[in-house]
Structure 1
Amino acid sequence: MGSKGVNITYQIRENRGGYKAGALKEGLKRSYVKHCEYVAIFDADFQPEPDYLRRAIPFLVHNPDIALVQARWRFVNADECLLTRMQEMSLDYHFTVEQEVGSSTHAFFGFNGTAGVWRIAAINEAGGWKDRTTVEDMDLAVRCSLKGWKFLYLGDLQVKSELPSTFKAFRFQQHRWSCGPANLFRKMLMEIVKNKKVKFWKKVYVIYSFFFVRKIIAHMVTFWFYCVVLPLTILVPEVEVPIWGAVYIPSIVTILNSVGTPRSIHLLFYWILFENVMSLHRTKATFIGLLEAGRANEWVVTEKLGNKLQKNADASKNKTNVKMFKRPRLKIIDRLNTLELGFAAFLFLCGCYDFVHGKNNYFVYLFLQTITFFITGIGYVGTIIPSS
């Protein structure tokens, strides 16, 4: 690239100190950064188009109040399995509604950690990258927003990426995405409250709406209501949950959540059941973050299968070294998820009781939710990695 007059330097660091935040912080210490105004950030599996910078940078150049231009993610393996289809539904809602609305109304929305271009001056003014939590992207975005910087989301600027397609990888990712915001809320709450330069209503929005409702309460309400409270009310006839609260309103909300991915509307019902299962892990991770317990700062790189599957596919085409794909012979004990199996047993017992003594036919939901917990509990979710 030097012969074309393009100055490109490929550099790595020797350790993982601070994880991603540490790497970003280290990158901005390079001598050439002082000659730069912007920094583009991509995770390893992201594939930006050649014109990405030409389309993103002008918004920063002509709008000095903007600190971040965020692009939309597109997924190259959305059709790989049912797990990736459901992730696509959740993330499409996030971009179509949360990011789009936040940008259009000039309200605060978080940086997604990748596929974005930052103004370096904004990063420096906000205090730089910090590795105090596993959500360094959200941490910086909140601090920049409190400093008065604005963010812009470009829905038509799309970057290809890959979704985790094994349940183990997805669960680690969701733990980090749920634990990190809760831990950041714990560490930033008083910092936001005591900040005299931030308007009162902005404090209320960031603390109550962005953090408390969306990052903490949302997971807990889903889990406690649908997986604990509702099943237990069946065992106590004196307690009755109105059907509009248990079925109608949640169904309408969920249908609205699927607007970003109309092609997967037929998966809506199973998506609801699976989200209830994942709310168990998200609630657990949220408590770990709030209490700053053992796994609060755990950083496990999300495994993507693109490279492994491609290597196996190439090997299968090589006639001189043909080996049939085999499913890994995992011991049953290695595949079991005891927490999900325990809840499957609990919901099954509640469903049986409602079938015999109930009057609202909640056993239909309970048995379907039992099946979803059981399938997850025995490890048959997502892609099983082929071995050569």
Structure 2
Amino acid sequence: MNAGTAGIWRIAAINEAGGWKDRTTVEDMDLAVRASLRGWKFVYLGDLHVKSELPSTFKAFRFQQHRWSCGPANLFRKMVWEIIQNKKVKFWKKVYVIYSFFFVRKIIAHMVTFCFYCVVLPLTILIPEVWVPIWGAVYIPSVITILNSVGTPRSIHLLFYWILFENVMSLHRTKATFIGLLEAGRANEWVVTEKLGDAVKKAADAAKNKNNAKAPRKLKFKFTDR
């Protein structure tokens, strides 16, 4: 699915899919799903590199993750019957979009992560009667963690902090998922993700240049030149 970043759309695909809709906070995913159901396919160009930027602050990241968790759940609520009743889409494609794309990846994944890592595993330590097999308590989490870290070997030293960070964010994502499914108060809240770009670097360079301009210039001469 096209995620909206660094993607180029054909006007014909947008028009055939029903145009741009703002019914959710993931309008790019909305359009991508509808275009896919219409038979359009996306081409990924691996040799084409486009710069992208992550949120600049933790607060901005939390707002982004809320939108990315709440939006798909809300879109699933609004599109599930539309997908089921679509007679032009094959049965197995409906199963893939509903079960694999939406239900597993966008809804269940957040809930399972939170319940397992933040509820079940802590209970095995606090309450002896709660027992989890070693393959479930050690092997599976270790494999998931290793697979996630393989793609970024330069950040392997941050692995421990990443685990703690993801456990905290799993609660935030789970809450956002329920808000989207129930279409509660913040379901359609749109907060622009703060991205500073080169602003910090430019500000630092400007301050450095300003300080250099104010600094008194030292006269360079030798004693023998007098």
Aligned counterpart in structure 2 of residue 302 of structure 1, from 188, 193, 197:
193
| 2:219 is equivalent to residue 318 of structure 1 | no
Give the CA deviation at 1:321: 6.8
Give the equivalent residue in structure 2 for 1:187.
78
Please name the residue that 2:218 is paired with: none
Aligned pairs for 1:375-386 within 5 A: none
Aligned residues: 213
Please give the TM-score of this superposition, normalised by the length of structure 1: 0.53
Take 1:321 and 1:150, find their aligned partners in 2: how far apart are those partners?
59
Partner of 1:283: 174
More displaced stretch, 223-232 vs 180-189: 223-232
Distance 1:321 1:229 in 2: 61
- The root-mean-square deviation of aligned C-alpha atoms, in Å, is 1.6
Query: Which structure: greater strand fraction?
Result: 1
Query: Sequence identity, in percent?
Result: 86
Separation in 1, partners of 2:111, 2:59: 22
Please say if residues 3 and 28 of structure 2, whose CA atoms lie closer than 8 Å, have aligned partners that are also in contact: yes
Asked whether 1:140 is paired with 2:31, we answer yes
Letter in 1 for 2:27: E
What are the Cα deviations for residues 257-287 of structure 1, in whole angstroms up to 9, with x where unaligned? 2232222223223212211111111111111
CA contact (8 A) 1:255 1:268 kept: no
Instruction: Return 5+ residue gaps in structure 1 as ranges.
Output: 1-109, 323-388
**Mapped partners of 1:134, 1:273: distance in 2:** 28
Higher normalized helix content (fraction of residues): 2
Q: How does 1:149-168 map to 2 (within 5 A)?
A: 149-168=40-59
Partner of 2:153: 262
Task: Name the counterpart of 1:123.
Answer: 14
User: How is 1:359-374 mapped onto 2 (pairs within 5 angstroms)?
Assistant: none
How far off is 1:296 after superposition?
A: 0.5
Paired residues of 1:112 and 1:137 also in contact (CA < 8 A): yes
Native 8 Å contact 2:123 2:130 kept in 1? no
Report the residue type matching 1:149 in the other structure. Answer: W
Q: 3-state DSSP class of the match of 1:306?
A: coil
Report the TM-score, using the length of structure 2 for normalisation: 0.89
Q: For residues 152-203 of structure 1, what are the alpha-carbon distances to aligned partners after superposition, in whole Å with 9 as ceiling and x for unaligned?
A: 1122211112211210011011111111000000000111011111111100
2:130 corresponding residue in structure 1? 239
- Distance in 1 between the 2:93 and 2:6 partners? 26
C-alpha distance in 2 between matches for 1:305 and 1:122:
33
The alpha carbon displacement at 1:244 in A equals: 1.0
Query: Would you say 1:171 and 2:62 are equivalent positions?
Result: yes
Q: Which of the two has higher C-alpha Rg? A: 2
How far the C-alpha of 1:311 sits from its partner, in A, is 4.1
User: CA–CA distance in 1 between the matches of 2:53 and 2:210?
Assistant: 26
Question: Do 1:315 and 1:321's aligned partners in 2 also have CA atoms closer than 8 Å?
Answer: no
Higher relative contact order by CA 8 Å / sep ≥ 6: 1 or 2?
2
Residue type of the alignment partner of 1:209 = S
Contact 1:189 1:207 in 2 (8 A): yes
Runs (4 or more) in structure 1 with deviation over 6 Å come to none
Report the residue type matching 2:12 in the other structure. A
